[in-house]
Structure formats: C-alpha cells, structure tokens
Amino acid sequence: MKTPYVPHVFGEAAVRKLRSRVGWVSAAVASSVPWPQKDVWVQYAGDDFILRGTENGPQPTAPAITVPGDREELEQSLARVYRFTSVLGWFLGGYVDVVDVISGSHPFGFGAQMRHAFSTVGQAGAKSFNCNHMPIIEDENIRIALAFWREGERLRRVHDSYSFLSYFKVIESQYSNGRQREAWFNNNIDKMAGDAAARVAQLRAGGADVGRHLYDSGRNAVAHASFGGGIVDPDVVADRRRISADLVLMRELAWRYISEELRVPTARSLSDTRNRLESWSSLLDPVALATLEDGATPDASTLGLEGLRVGLALWPDHPMDGLRALTMHVDAVHEGAVRILLFNDRMTMMFAFVLDFRHGRIHTQLDNSSLLQNDEHHPVEDDVREFATVFHRVIGNAVVELCLEGREPIDCEVVIPVNIIPRNPDEAVEEAVEAFRRERGQQG
C-alpha cells in the first residue's frame, strides 16, 4: 500500500491557497483527533485539503475541511472529503466525520456552536498536526471498510446498536457469502486480547457459539425488526446491555480485519515499520545496498553518496537559507550503517547523521555536529543562528528532514534527551547569538 510523503503547509501560505481561486466546498466535521489550531493545507493523493483551524480568529471555530469545488461539483467534492476523513480518522486513531456542508465562491467556516455540539477537539499546536505518510486507498473494498469503521467510531458511546452494526459491516462487506465470513470469525475470535477476549470467555461460559451469537443476536437483531422475530428492543434493558457488552468484541474484530487482513497502517504501526531510507535506495549501488541491508560492511567508495547536495529542514518548514545545499561526505561504514557528515560551502557548519540501512532509520548525532572555523572562514551570525536553531529544536523533539531534489525527504528519528531539560528553543537561540556577538566584540 502506498504511503507517500504528504506535504503540509501552515500559516500564511495556507491562507493564500484559500484566496487563490473562486469556488470552494467546506465541510464541518465531528472529530476526536487532535485538530490544528490554524489552517493547514495538506496535499494528499493528488488533491488539496485545507483543514480549517479552530483558532483562526477571536472566537473559536468548528473543525472543518475545505476543498476546491464549484456548486456543480458538490457531490464529487464531498465524496473526496468523505474518503479523506475515513483514512484520516483510522490513521490518527479516532474519527473524523462530516456533519454539515457549505459551498460557495469563498471558503466559508463554521461557528463555535457547531464545534461544541459535535466534537471533542484535542488541540494540535500551531505546526504539530501531522498526517504524513497517510496511506492512499485505491481498492474499493478497503474504502468501504474504512467508511463503515468511521461510522462505528463516530457512533461509539452515542448509539451502541448502530455502532455495533457498522463494525460488523466492516467485515460483512468483504465477503460475498456467509460461509466465508463465518470462517473468518471462527479463525480470529481466539486471537482477541484484553476486554474482547474476556467477552469471548464470558459468552462461551454461557454455552454460546460466539460467531453465531454475533451474527444472530447482534447483526441480525440490530438490522431487522420483523414482528415476532429476534430484535434488539430499545426498551429492553437486557438487550441494550448485551449489545453494549458485545460492542468491544465487535470493534476489536473490525479493527483486526482492517489492520491484519486489509493491511491498512495507522500512524503508530507505520512508525514501527516504514523504511525511512527507501526514497534514497536507488542512489546506491544495488550490491552495496543489499550488503548494508544484510548488516554487512561494503566499501565506502561503492555507495554513491559522496558529494551529494542535500538540504536540512525542520519539519514542516523549508530549509533555512544556509542549510539549503549542504555537501555530503561519507565518514564511516560499519555493519549496515553509514555515518555521513554534511558541510555548508564555507565549511563553518557540520551536521552528523547515521543512516541505518539494516533497520531503515536515520539518526541525528547532535554531539558530533558543530560550528567550525578554518583558515579562510569563521562562523558568522547567520551560521550561529541556524546551527543553534537546529540544535535546540531537535533537543525539543523537532523532526529533521534531509531533502534531495526529485526525491521524497527522509525524516530522522526523534532525539530523546537524557539527563537534560530542554529549554525554550527561541530563547536558547537568542542567547547563543548574543554570546557570539559578545565574543566577536571582545575579539574586535
């Protein structure tokens, strides 16, 4: 499944995007995922989505998603939003669901009243909202499974019966006959854990065939209301209690189907499995790459990395001026890992990284990065500011990206400081610059 780089544009550039055309469709959403405070423009699967911030003005506003579209394109535009919200909610571990729509020449927003009525909005910071590498869904069966999952998540704790039915449809929608579905249930019920496993044990202790119980006393009883037939009666306490007890099991089964059978990653699972170095793989000699991935040590001269020009950025920003074109030097190669050094043209800044090809990771080595001076050049104030910005932002868990023209950026592992309390990056940078000015003044 494709999980490509998803550009995120914050701030004034997102506002300019909203002013760039006439004709927009805006959808207010109910959301349980952390929502951006300010507008962020996300470019996903070839389409533009602007997530409208909840703090764009003096009054709070409802979370919303705005997409380009004229009135004549309302249904197509709204369908794009629905598909996007299904994937976004799954990826970030919550739900995002459309509750109202406005179309017009301008990108209208929604007031705070709707926000309070429909959402429990956790706040992402000004630039912390992140759905990077969210999977692109191209298969129709996966799309519909995620749509039913979205409904189930939205209805959980609101309407147990309909939530149960939506989770059941996640699995039911994938099979053309009941025998295949029943076989899947029987093969997976014993793989449950936690509260779901406890419910399986409870049902079996009462003599129930768990798979048949979920279908007859759950799915059918919720979906049908024929006179004299088995139904979930909204006025019968035992019926409501039973469906509520079964809901945790049905949700776990639906989650397992999407995760294990359809193999749709979440942000958490992708963080564990994604090869960060994949976009650079074709730069290396295939034999050398295979050697590195096997944990062995090829000759450094065979790698093809020496002399590359790369940019160093702090996600989601572009590289600072002095970090747009750094020259790569291969410093060491050992057992699947390559240590690289990046220098600016004046050789006054050096940044060290370790490319771990065996595990598909890249690590920032702050302790081995430094300002430099040589016979021709000494650091200038801009060097100090840019180096200190990288250093203190990374200590504060900012994500470093290495950018190579024509390829997706590769992101470094987050640095977890040990025996240090991170400082406010802005204050620390200004102190470093001021110390440099004082030293330069004393030397002068």
Q: How far is CA 347 from CA 55, 138, 229, 330, 426, in A?
A: 43, 47, 81, 15, 25
Q: What is the mean pLDDT of residues 131-144?
A: 97
pLDDT band at 77 (very low <50, low <70, confident <90, very high): very high
pLDDT band at 227 (very low <50, low <70, confident <90, very high): very low
Q: What is the phi/psi pair of residue 373, to 5°?
A: -140, 150
Q: How far is CA 361 from CA 128, 307, 328, 394, in A?
A: 22, 21, 18, 16
pLDDT at 110: 85
Whether 392 shows a pLDDT value over 50: the answer reads: yes
* Rounded-to-integer distance, Cα 53 and Cα 37, Å: 4
- Token pair, residue 47, equals 């389409």
Whether 353 shows a pLDDT value over 80: the answer reads: yes
pLDDT band at 67 (very low <50, low <70, confident <90, very high): very high
Q: What is the phi/psi pair of residue 238, to 5°?
A: -65, -40
pLDDT at 208: 86
Q: What is the mean pLDDT of residues 169-183?
A: 90
- Of residues 230 and 426, which shows the higher confidence score? 426
pLDDT band at 283 (very low <50, low <70, confident <90, very high): very high
Whether 439 shows a pLDDT value over 60: the answer reads: yes
- Of residues 416 and 77, which shows the higher confidence score? 77
pLDDT band at 310 (very low <50, low <70, confident <90, very high): very high
Whether 409 shows a pLDDT value over 90: the answer reads: yes
The contacts found for 279-283 with CB under 8 angstroms, 24 or more apart, are 279/5, 279/404, 279/407, 279/408, 279/409, 279/410, 280/355, 280/404, 280/407, 280/410, 283/308, 283/404
Is the preceding peptide bond at 425 cis, omega within 30 degrees of 0? no
pLDDT band at 154 (very low <50, low <70, confident <90, very high): very high
Whether 122 shows a pLDDT value over 70: the answer reads: no
Q: Which residues pair with 356 in a beta bridge?
A: 337, 361
pLDDT at 418: 76
pLDDT band at 317 (very low <50, low <70, confident <90, very high): very high
Mean per-residue pLDDT over the chain, rounded: 90
- Considering only 12-16, 46-50, 123-127, 210-214, which range has the smallest mean pLDDT? 123-127
pTM over 0.85: yes
Q: What is the mean pLDDT of residues 115-128?
A: 62
Whether 119 shows a pLDDT value over 60: the answer reads: no
Provide the percentage of residues in the chain whose pLDDT is more than 90.
Answer: 72
pLDDT digits (tens, 9 = 90+) for 382-391: 999 999 999 9
Whether 120 shows a pLDDT value over 70: the answer reads: no
pLDDT band at 355 (very low <50, low <70, confident <90, very high): very high
Q: What is the mean pLDDT of residues 416-438?
A: 89
> Going from the N-terminus, what domains does the chain have, and what CATH number goes with each?
8-124 (3.30.9), 140-270 (no CATH), 276-443 (no CATH)
Q: What is the mean pLDDT of residues 107-125?
A: 65
Provide the percentage of residues in the chain whose pLDDT is more than 70.
Answer: 94
- Of residues 167 and 218, which shows the higher confidence score? 167
